[in-house]
Structure 1
């Protein structure tokens, strides 16, 4: 068959070509500028659950119970109801504006680059406290495993951070499968712990009274349990990796919310079924105490489960933080090499993950010298994460029209009023970070 000029050229047999030689290589493919969309519904739901369910599930049920007794169950139901409009905002923005910058990307769409840079710096300051705090919580649970009590919590926390970084560095596709396994393990483990606590303990006798006074008492524990409902704001940093963000992100938010809320209510019910209000274990390790009261021989399993939960939580947190670092570098706020993606897979470079893990480990190490405490890390980070909901609501109101704009403004106003209850130091820290990022962006421009 006689070759056409096109096929001859393609095979290297055209005019001027040497027999047996390969065609001259064309221009190299440019590295991708956005991450590959690999996250589908099961993996994305698993990632959401492991990001949200963490130390809050392990501690908050006991703290709320100590504060309000059996009325604590109302606090969890009210917190879930309060979270719904916030998640509607996140679900819609994440579906419409998928990006690795998360809330900062939303702000950039609504208010421009300078304000987004301010949010990025605030987020970097928040992750730098919250993620080491999560790691240290895992370190304390690590110490509860028989035979490991002598291991310093800060060292165990750093090891957990390193392991989380290794999982994230493997690549998003593999990481999502690992998270799916971890999500199944932790969900099954927590449900089992709750059912063990409820079995044989007359749980119906420990429901809160159906009266207005008990409901009002439950509201007073809202602050103690709301931290357990944070985490979906971190999920927004993964939307660029969704295969179909417009369809799947809202579904992920809804499914994970139902699973997480069910877990929390079961755990809270088990705590107030098995423990006494004055039990000191309720404030430190309530789930461990619940299982120990119902099945003493299984108490050590809760310690192992706690480490698994924190490890899964850390993978999701490091995943989100590395995406923020990559996005900030892409926008010029951080060094450009941190934004360079793999040509083959379109995943963040391992150096971005390594920088995150190294910095978080350094902060965790500071707790060994008592420069900062675990309570300080979690308190400040928790307040800043709350402010992220406020920023998202403001953006939502700005980008919407009509009734949706008014609804977004109402949510934003409510969150702004609640943020005034934070301590002055908390608000100053957030404001300084926000201003620093804003000014750095203006100067660079």
Structure 2
């Protein structure tokens, strides 16, 4: 029987995958690629490949730690186990402080897409962002099982947009667009990689939900 302080294990494998993917494949993926291309030109593709390789150790570390030490403390719990409670508490406060900053920014970004598409003003953007925050809060109050199902829909929608964008862009592919490959020098590739880094973080945030996974060991067995 679960104790009153133990979280309910309601997040299955599909929901867990959706939560991890949506944490990484967020709204930034619709903006950051253009910024990287502006910085490095065609060579920004090299930055994409480099970041994929560099981020694998982080993704695997977060996944394996979450499977081995499932705890709502997430990264702060891992740090506590490794370096003691003082270091873990400090990391926990950093994560807590990021919420009131990151959540409104993400909501305003999403609302900005909608208002730009519909031709609405700044007032509508703020109202839509507030509504997004409210809906997100209510979904989390209901429970992570519902949140996981909602994230599955969100991930499907984002992937569909990306696939559609790729399909529509294929007819316009031209080898001349890749010349010169490095128009702004090789340093620009590193600069583009630093920008693209923000498309590859988020693995650490979902580790806080590991205690609610129905079978955290399944992830480790898959790896």
Whether the TM-score (by the shorter chain) exceeds 0.5 is yes
Among candidates 170, 173, 177, match of residue 149 of structure 2: 177
Alignment equivalent of 2:45, drawn from 66, 73, 78? 73
Of the three residues 118, 137, 141, the one matched with 1:146 is 118
CA deviation string 1:210-254 (max 9, x = no partner): 89x976642231111111101111111111111111222675xx8
Equivalent in 74, 91, 95 of residue 67 of structure 2:
95
8 A contact 2:44–2:192 mirrored in 1: yes
Structure 1 residue runs of 4 or more that deviate by more than 4 Å after TM superposition: 207-211, 213-217
Matched, 1:166 2:138: yes
In the alignment, the residues of structure 1 paired with residue 99 and residue 12 of structure 2 have an alpha-carbon distance, to the nearest angstrom, of 26
Whole-Å Cα distance in 1 between the matches of residues 123 and 205 of structure 2? Answer: 30
Unaligned runs of 5+ in 1: 1-28, 255-445
Greater CA radius of gyration, 1 or 2?
Answer: 1
Residue 150 and residue 219 in structure 1: after superposition, are their counterparts in 2 closer, same or farther (change >3 A)? closer
Question: Residue in 1 aligned with 2:17?
Answer: 45
For the residues of structure 2 that align with 1:203 and 1:169, how far apart are their CA atoms? 50
Residue 127 (structure 1) aligns with: 99
Does the CA contact (< 8 Å) of 1:142 and 1:149 recur in 2? no
- CA gap of 1:34–1:182, structure 2 versus 1, over 3 A, is same
Aligned counterpart for 2:219 among listed residues 237, 242, 248: 248
User: Could you tell me how far apart the structure 2 residues matched to 1:87 and 1:66 are?
Assistant: 27
Structure 2: how far apart are the matches of 1:193 and 1:210?
A: 22
Deviations 1:263-288 (A, max 9, x none): xxxxxxxxxxxxxxxxxxxxxxxxxx
For 1:215 and 1:40, locate their aligned partners in 2 and report how far apart those are by CA, in whole Å: 44
What SS does the aligned partner of 1:139 have?
A: helix
Offset of residue 83 of structure 1: 0.6
Kept in 2, the 8 Å contact 1:98–1:245? The answer is yes
Distance 2:179 2:215 in 1: 42
Match of 1:231 among 202, 208, 212: 202
Q: Would the aligned equivalents of 1:52 and 1:231 in 2 still touch at CA under 8 Å?
A: yes
Structure 1 residue 81, shift from structure 2 partner: 1.1
**In structure 2, how many angstroms separate the alpha carbons of the residues matched to 1:208 and 1:229?**
27
* Alpha-carbon displacement from aligned partner over 1:392-424 (angstroms, at most 9, x marks no partner): xxxxxxxxxxxxxxxxxxxxxxxxxxxxxxxxx
1:197 aligns with 2:169: yes
Cα distance per residue 1:65-122 (max 9 Å; x no partner):
1111111111111111111122222122111111111100101111222221111111
Aligned pairs for 1:362-401 within 5 A: none
Out of 30, 34, 49, the position equivalent to 1:58 is 30
Question: 158, 163, 173: which one pairs with 1:186?
Answer: 158
How far, CA to CA, are the matches of 1:106 and 1:208 in structure 2?
47
Do structure 1's residue 221 and structure 2's residue 167 form an aligned pair? no
Matches within 5 A, 1:406-421: none
TM (norm. structure 2) is 0.88
TM-score for the superposition, normalised by structure 1: 0.46
Provide the rounded CA distance (Å) in 2 between the counterparts of 1:126 and 1:250.
32
Q: How many residues align?
A: 222
Higher relative contact order (CA 8 A, sep 6+): 2
Aligned with 2:7: secondary structure? coil
Contact 1:93 1:106 in 2 (8 A): yes
